[in-house]
Chains A and B, each alone.
Chain A
């Protein structure tokens, strides 16, 4: 058998494997996108195969839609705060768990009981979002039966006849949701950063210690630069979570598909779903989908550009 034929056979073999996933990807990802673009120029109601072409009307309406603009703003707020808070907390905990201890004779180790902490911090990640929503629904419950209100009333900080309606307070609701996302995410990124930290050679830390670096210096001058790639990846992943938020907002807050009170926790996905399924404005909702797509594309490019740095090899 000739060498060339062998090579061809192998390429065919590989192509054979790629064909099916590619076809699936085209059918279930790319094709819906293309369709969405098409529908965004129509007045499709979502319940019928007939519709009229309306040009750019949907986009013109979208520009004036205050609810959607508010939702966009909330998404942007989350986009800033979710990654920043989650990554900072996860980095801090990961550092303490891996290199924050000062017990051993010259060795670099985590604080006491760090193995235990690592497992405990990971627990929230195991829960599905639906369970999380139920769990925090009970925490934020607006009467004395709620965990937070119950504790605050017992401590005498809250009047039992006027409990805090956490998810019904325009100024609190978004931050309450943010807390849930952060609580859920920190454990996972702690484990991710821990793994990255463990691949940092110990002698670097030891050298820093010998030079008299404190915890803070070790962290900012040694750990963070060596972990930059992981942090960058995490920021992109958390960006995904912040741009979505659909499950939590739609189940935990008031209104059809959530977003309440009075649109104060609205995110783009909830506005989209309400228009798509409840108001029968599916063409309009598709225009929102296209806007979301464009925004996330811009976002991912910006994120990767902004965080580009010189790599430190070790």
Chain B
């Protein structure tokens, strides 16, 4: 902006030298340019409310009163799962309800939707995911999320004698709670842990480790064979936190996990379990078992290096296989491994962090809220769940929700097997959804730990400080798990 005004030099009037003008406009530019981009982002619109369409009478088949022939506005995150599944859903929805749906698949959820939320004209259904998602805690605090409890209590499309909530994998509803309300359907069922190449392990004669000592032994063997032991996506310390937090939950049991989510004053500090877990991960660093350079790599770079057999293990969630589809050699034989356990762990080796991801929401101010709710109800049917598995090669939170005819890839297959073996022993943290600032601060500490710039004790201190700070959050009193 400032720089274009400098081009006005040709029309200089008398009394103002050409260079003076350039200088002045440049000075003005100095003021304007750096701030404009950010400041203008602050501009929010007024709060208009759009009038929704007439509602149809509520019946058992139409529990939300969707008016036939209305409009449906869907925005989905177009990431690892693509957006073909959503188009298939919209077609099915339009056919049933005679609606005209508009579709937007994008990575820039915040950029596209923030003005619409602020302007009071949000879409009817949003898949609020990806790196640029609008944080759910933020939306919730702003009163922008519709309560989806009625969807859970509505009759299921598969079996009208049952409620929708009874058709879902246990624990997945809890995942969508904010401040005691059910506001998001986390649709994709994900497991987190370590991943390895079945081919590499067979070739080298390694057995997948079950304890942390065995894990370190395999890493050492790998290092001696000229391969890195553990790779992680260093530029995004989210991933190494999978290892740290899994170890804490497995060693200390669900109580240790809940202590963190509930922001207990001894969540990290004074909790020997947490220190042991962090020290275990730090051992990997100290014994030089990391893939060289992995601390500075992006997720794509490190995962691709792992696909090229440059490391034995990598931390990730089960989207990994889809994400690396193109980079994975055909005979790679991607395998999932639950996080190996420390001695005396309360949870067995088979226990996995598993949970629902990819949150779908209905905005409170949606023009056609009824259709949005009905859309969510349809997603939680076996038919739509199968559509998703076909298009995105991933599991959903619908219990037994994939038709057996759908063929799964090796990584996903191994994840399903691990889930089966885990049975009731699944766990999942809530703090990343509840307290984004605390999550970020713990990630920063982990980044420092992996680079050997801080010691485990210092990590514990910093993590506890982040927890203590989060207790100031106005939602902290509602966000409790028991």
| CB-based contact A50/B34 at 8 Å | no
| Bound form: Cα–Cα A146–B27 in Å | 39
Q: Which of A39, A263, A280 has the most CB of B within 10 A?
A: A280
| Bound form: Cα–Cα A232–B141 in Å | 48
Q: Which of A233, A286, A301 has the most CB of B within 10 A?
A: A233
Q: Which residues of B contact A167 (CB under 8 A)?
A: 296
| CB-based contact A165/B3 at 8 Å | no
| CB-based contact A261/B451 at 8 Å | yes
| Bound form: Cα–Cα A39–B41 in Å | 11
Q: Which residues of A contact B135 (CB under 8 A)?
A: 278-280
Residues of chain A from 167 to 193 with CB closer than 8 A to chain B in the complex: 167-168, 170
| CB-based contact B440/A304 at 8 Å | no
> B328 to chain A: closest CB distance in Å?
18
Interface segment, A3-11, A115-123, A206-214, A240-248? A240-248
Interface segment, B62-70, B229-237, B244-252, B387-395? B229-237
With A32-B43, A280-B138 already in contact, the answer to whether A168 and B451 are too (CB < 8 A) is yes
Q: Which residues of A contact B38 (CB under 8 A)?
A: 246, 269, 272-273, 276, 285, 289, 292
Residues of chain A from 229 to 264 with CB closer than 8 A to chain B in the complex: 229, 232-233, 236-237, 239-240, 243-244, 246, 254-256, 260-263
| CB-based contact A32/B144 at 8 Å | no
| Bound form: Cα–Cα A166–B291 in Å | 16
Q: Which residues of B contact A273 (CB under 8 A)?
A: 38
Q: Which residues of A contact B134 (CB under 8 A)?
A: 47, 277
| Bound form: Cα–Cα A280–B34 in Å | 21
Q: Is B110 an interface residue (CB 8 A)?
A: yes
| Bound form: Cα–Cα A300–B34 in Å | 12
Residues of chain B from 193 to 228 with CB closer than 8 A to chain A in the complex: none
Q: Is B31 an interface residue (CB 8 A)?
A: yes
> B207 to chain A: closest CB distance in Å?
25
Q: Which residues of A contact B322 (CB under 8 A)?
A: none
CB closest residue in chain A, given B447: A261
Interface string of B286-326 (1 = CB under 8 A from A): 00100111111110010001000000000000000000000
Q: Is B39 an interface residue (CB 8 A)?
A: yes
Task: Describe B's contact surface by its main secondary structure.
Answer: helix
| Bound form: Cα–Cα A142–B294 in Å | 7
| Bound form: Cα–Cα A269–B33 in Å | 12
With A233-B22, A260-B447 already in contact, the answer to whether A36 and B42 are too (CB < 8 A) is yes
| CB-based contact B292/A144 at 8 Å | yes
Q: Which of A137, A161, A272, A279 contacts B436 (CB 8 A)?
A: A279
Q: Which residues of B contact A217 (CB under 8 A)?
A: none
Q: Is B29 an interface residue (CB 8 A)?
A: yes
| CB-based contact B440/A255 at 8 Å | yes
Interface string of A293-309 (1 = CB under 8 A from B): 10011011101100000
| Bound form: Cα–Cα A162–B30 in Å | 42
Q: Is A124 an interface residue (CB 8 A)?
A: no
CB closest residue in chain A, given B290: A161
Q: Is B96 an interface residue (CB 8 A)?
A: no
With A29-B32, A243-B34 already in contact, the answer to whether A262 and B444 are too (CB < 8 A) is yes
With A48-B142, A168-B295 already in contact, the answer to whether A254 and B237 are too (CB < 8 A) is yes
Interface string of B80-104 (1 = CB under 8 A from A): 0000000000000000000000000
Q: Is A46 an interface residue (CB 8 A)?
A: yes
> A290 to chain B: closest CB distance in Å?
8
Q: Which of A260, A274, A276 contacts B41 (CB 8 A)?
A: A276
Q: Which residues of B contact A263 (CB under 8 A)?
A: 444
With A35-B42, A48-B144, A254-B447 already in contact, the answer to whether A293 and B26 are too (CB < 8 A) is no
Q: Which residues of B contact A107 (CB under 8 A)?
A: none
Please name 14 further chain A to chain B contacts, defined as beta carbons within 8 Å, in addition to the given A141-B297, A243-B30, A289-B39, sorted by A numbering.
A39-B42, A47-B117, A47-B118, A48-B118, A49-B120, A142-B294, A142-B295, A142-B296, A229-B23, A237-B29, A261-B453, A280-B138, A286-B39, A300-B27
What residues make up the interface of A, taking CB atoms closer than 8 Å to B?
A: 28-29, 31-33, 35-36, 39, 44-50, 137, 140-146, 149, 160-163, 165-168, 170, 229, 232-233, 236-237, 239-240, 243-244, 246, 254-256, 260-263, 269, 272-274, 276-280, 282, 285-286, 289, 292-293, 296-297, 299-301, 303-304
